[in-house]
Amino acid sequence: MSPVLRRLRLALAGLVGTLVLTVGSPSALLVPALAVRPMPGVGGQTIAETLTPPTTATCRATFHIACYQPFQMQKAYDLAPLFSRGIDGRGRTIVIVDSFGSPTIQDDLKTFDQTFGLPDPPSFQVIQPAGAVPAFPQDPFGVSDRLGWAGETTLDVEWSHVIAPAANIVLVETPTSETEGVQGFPEIVQAENFVIDHGIGDVISQSFGATEQTFPNADAVRDLRSAVVNARRHHVTMLASSGDQGAGALKSDLSCCFPFRAVIWPSSDPLVTSTGGTQLNLDDAGSRLSPDIVWNGAGGGVSAVFDRPEFQNGVRRTVGHQRGIPDISMSAAVNGR
């Protein structure tokens, strides 16, 4: 997991009324995002105007970052022609895996949808197949990690719904925090195997990963591949983030970074579609002001564990004998995400 820049991406994760920005700190910083203007009410009273999300221009002027709404992202990726043909996720189920999940995700998604005029997903379920998630902690030291995962969960659920608004969503919550190395992964693998074995979803999305070098050895990574292999056997697509530390990667103590290039697993697995990050520059209508560029925080490089898969033979001059990532890239930058 990359806990710093990854959480910073929550600049507009649908948390209407606040922007959640975690800047180099494990504690969440809540920044007021929207002004509540008093309006004349009945009998001379005043009422609060319904909160509305800021425009891209407002975000640039106020926070010096570009925040984009769902309709802008849908336009940027030209999804309207697909939606008009019924290619909008209908009949499919997206499985999102996150440590702990979020205790407010049901309400968060409903607020997000109502705010941006999106339909509710046909079905939204939360399951905990690897064990019950512990109660939300009350002490400040325990809260920070849970807030980070709650924000990540919100980001994952809401924006998957934007791209595939007619898909069912299943959120899989696990009871242990995934950190660099093996911690948290046994429960994640157990939960994913449950989902696959029971035919619960068509796509599994993992927005986390651990630096290959933080595992005890390469065999420790390979020993965690059962869900990846199982997914292939059952024709379930698995995706994973390529990370947000650029060409570097976090150490076991979560400090940045190794003094050499490194990538993260499960993104580096040849059976996983590795997703990297770009930065978009859009206007308020969602039209591009300039071509997309690679986000400078996007992870990428070659694996120290896995050999080059056959489907990458065409880029052998770039990746050499090793598995290279990412495979595809979409908007992921802090500025414009």
pLDDT at residue 11 in the model: 31
Entry pTM: 0.85
The two tokens of residue 193 are 């195997």
Q: Give 328's contacts (C-beta < 8 A, 6+ positions apart).
A: 273, 274, 275, 276
Q: How far apart are CA 9 and CA 7, in angstroms?
A: 5
CA angle, residues 210, 212, 216, in degrees to nearest 5: 100
The answer to the question of residue 140 being in a domain is yes
Name the DSSP letter for residue 272: S
Range of the domain at 315: 69-331
Q: How far apart are CA 141 and CA 178, in angstroms?
A: 17
SS3 197: helix
What CATH number corresponds to the domain at position 199?
3.40.50.200
Q: Give 282's contacts (C-beta < 8 A, 6+ positions apart).
A: 56, 66, 68, 72, 76, 288, 289, 336
The two tokens of residue 321 are 């004998």
Total structural domains within the chain: 1
SS3 99: strand
Q: What are the helix and strand counts (H, E) for the chain? A: 10, 16
How many angstroms separate the Cα of 167 from the Cα of each of 14, 22, 105, 120, 245? 19, 30, 17, 10, 31
pLDDT by residue for the chain (337 residues), tens digit each? 443 334 333 333 332 322 222 222 222 222 223 332 333 333 443 333 446 889 999 999 999 999 999 999 999 999 999 999 999 999 999 999 999 999 999 999 999 999 999 999 999 999 999 999 999 988 777 788 899 999 999 999 999 999 999 999 999 999 999 988 878 999 999 999 999 999 999 999 999 999 999 999 999 999 999 999 999 999 999 999 999 888 887 888 778 888 899 999 999 999 999 999 999 999 999 999 999 999 989 999 999 999 999 999 999 999 999 999 999 999 999 787 5
pLDDT at residue 337 in the model: 54
The answer to the question of residue 53 being in a domain is no
The answer to the question of residue 42 being in a domain is no
The answer to the question of residue 310 being in a domain is yes
The answer to the question of residue 23 being in a domain is no
Q: What residues form DSSP beta bridges with 250?
A: 256
Do residues 208 and 245 lie in contact, with contact meaning Cβ atoms separated by under 8 Å? Answer: no
The answer to the question of residue 188 being in a domain is yes
Q: How far apart are CA 72 and CA 163, in angstroms?
A: 11
Do residues 165 and 89 lie in contact, with contact meaning Cβ atoms separated by under 8 Å? Answer: yes
